[in-house]
Structure 1
């Protein structure tokens, strides 16, 4: 009995000692975790942005590594089809309207008007908005007729955002397209007559001809991979120079040659516009191959195409610096356009990071936004260029009006 009581007492004391040791160890762990949590919280608060960037880059590298290890056939049946089915009707209508693409009507007009303002100090709001409405109608013709002729060749048979596929009427889309062209060209011609500058009509006709032979039969030069040069000529030298002539003084601009400033600006505008067209082909490579449309990306492949995008963005800013050093463009243009460098870098990084999804995952939706990033670059660069020309005129006027101290 006594022995049992002694053993129980010893066991009870041992258990209490063990409980105290466990409790002490628990409190030590809690204190250590709290202190570690406090340090980690301070670290995250200070370096949160850097950690997010590093986590994103690590995710991109791991994703690319996994993608390269997997065979394309594993994803062909599921990924592409599922993402296409998930696209809502509203999204398809938005894509069919292509509202951001209408910046290709806004930018040449704005840059050409700003170049004329730099040269003559004249700006007509009435002329600007009539030309803008007419240009939008011509771009609508380009988009609608492109959908019609791509429907005829079978390029858009699986393109759900095609206007013909959404509306269900090839004839109705065709009539609407050429009605827009007629109204748009009427507005451009009327403005040229009112401004007494018929020389601009020649440039505008050349721009429209470039758009016609780009996509319309029997030419269809876009199927030969010549869409980008035609786009460069139409929206760059032809359209920008025409709008420059229409915004100048009639008597002066009819006899005044095109300046180096407007020619340099038009080259930059043509460059950014062509980049939009080039990047719009990334998600259409397979469909273009099936119907024999030899776009530049079909010929080069998406890997080399991503390198071309990088080279084109570098060339854009190299030309900007060259035009500034040669004094073809005023310094405010160089400074303001240089502020768009982050957007140019975003275009390059996005294409480089996502072009592999087309090859390995057969997922076109990852690269679809590339053209819209190019649209943002085009719009920002064009606005900066036009604003730089306006600022240069204001500075010139300010310094010219100052009295010279003897």
Structure 2
């Protein structure tokens, strides 16, 4: 029987169960920056290796899976997810543990194994290929993965979780993917600038997903920034995250027109075509920020926005590389 009355305890098939536990659909948070870093390496340096790219994607995905599962494990142990009574699929964790579908000990073993495997791939790049600066990217990722909600630091409880998510799934992964392709960070300005809007948008995904969890977070002392700021100011910050992402795309293009600016492709402006998702999400959030059910379309549109914006920017770099714009 489920320990959470708001969760359906019917056990899904084995594969589906573990895909849900790993929260595989949310791996777009990794796919977008890793692909972006690889494409930028090809576009500005003419370097791209498929085996290296696929190994990078695998390693980064394993780290995210570990992060997803650690978060669920520690939120379950703290009682955080047990406080969630609503049925918003984008909040309250994966709900595998609260529904008693997997033993917590097994869940922890799998998450730890994913962290170790992802780290081993990183060590291969560092020591076998001599990419020593990757150590620092990996260190940020591994520390964030475990201590995001894990003791003793519980970083998400201290109001820095949103920053860490934006940093890791923006600049860290993009620059890491760029570095393993080129072997150098000498031209890192372009991937860094390209990664900032992506990082802001994935932070926005976490940000809006924290609205339905405010009561549960408050009950266990998880002082997220959304909880600290309250509803109205948090809505304003969310709008600011989205607006800044689009502003940066426009700013990069304008600066390139009027001077020497390192972003090399005007064609990245096609990322602006994702704007309808942003407008819809903002409209729904403003009208329903206190309703964990009515806010669901805004949660979904923010996730779609991150994916659409990221893929369009990637396509923009590809087009720019092919036609020389």
In the superposition, the TM-score normalised over structure 2's length comes to: 0.85
SS in 2 for 1:276: helix
2:207 corresponds to 1:311 = no
Residue number in structure 1 paired with 2:319: 391
Structure 1 portions without partners, runs of 5+ = 1-80, 358-363, 400-406
**1:89-136 deviation per Cα after TM superposition (whole angstroms, max 9, x unaligned):** 66x968655333111110110110011111211211111111112221
In the superposition, the TM-score normalised over structure 1's length comes to: 0.69
Question: Alpha-carbon deviation of 1:144?
Answer: 0.7
Q: Aligned ranges for residues 337-348 of structure 1 at < 5 Å?
A: 337-348=271-282
Question: Alpha-carbon deviation of 1:168?
Answer: 4.5
Residue number in structure 2 paired with 1:143: 68
- Between Structure 1 and Structure 2, how many residues are aligned? 305
Q: Distance in 1 between matches of 2:32 and 2:196?
A: 12
Question: Which residue of 200, 207, 231 maps to 2:165?
Answer: 231
Contact kept? 1:215, 1:222, Cα under 8 Å: yes
2:318 corresponds to 1:355 = no
Q: Distance in 1 between matches of 2:102 and 2:129?
A: 42
SS in 2 for 1:164: coil
Q: Distance in 2 between matches of 1:88 and 1:308?
A: 38
Q: Distance in 1 between matches of 2:141 and 2:252?
A: 24
Q: Distance in 2 between matches of 1:184 and 1:133?
A: 7
Residue number in structure 2 paired with 1:286: 215
Question: Alpha-carbon deviation of 1:86?
Answer: 7.7
Contact kept? 1:211, 1:234, Cα under 8 Å: no
SS in 2 for 1:114: helix
Q: Aligned ranges for residues 62-81 of structure 1 at < 5 Å?
A: none
Contact kept? 1:163, 1:173, Cα under 8 Å: no
SS in 2 for 1:162: coil
Residue number in structure 2 paired with 1:263: 192
Question: Alpha-carbon deviation of 1:317?
Answer: 0.7
Q: Distance in 1 between matches of 2:155 and 2:51?
A: 36
Residue number in structure 2 paired with 1:220: 154
Q: Distance in 2 between matches of 1:341 and 1:378?
A: 10
Q: 1:317 to 1:121 in 2, by over 3 A?
A: same
Question: Which residue of 50, 53, 66 maps to 1:128?
Answer: 53
Q: Distance in 2 between matches of 1:303 and 1:176?
A: 39
Q: Distance in 2 between matches of 1:286 and 1:211?
A: 24
Q: Distance in 2 between matches of 1:162 and 1:341?
A: 32
Question: Alpha-carbon deviation of 1:245?
Answer: 0.6
The runs of at least 4 consecutive aligned structure 1 residues that moved more than 6 Å come to 85-89
2:258 corresponds to 1:330 = no
Q: Aligned ranges for residues 130-279 of structure 1 at < 5 Å?
A: 130-159=55-84, 161-166=94-99, 167-248=101-182, 250=183, 253=184, 256-279=185-208
Structure 2 portions without partners, runs of 5+ = 85-91, 257-261
CA-based RMSD: 2.6
Q: 1:387 to 1:372 in 2, by over 3 A?
A: same
Question: Which residue of 352, 358, 380 maps to 2:308?
Answer: 380
The structure in which a higher percent of residues are helix is: 1
Q: Distance in 1 between matches of 2:9 and 2:215?
A: 20
Asked which structure has the greater CA Rg, the reply is 1
Contact kept? 2:268, 2:315, Cα under 8 Å: no
Question: Alpha-carbon deviation of 1:324?
Answer: 1.9
Q: Distance in 1 between matches of 2:288 and 2:234?
A: 12
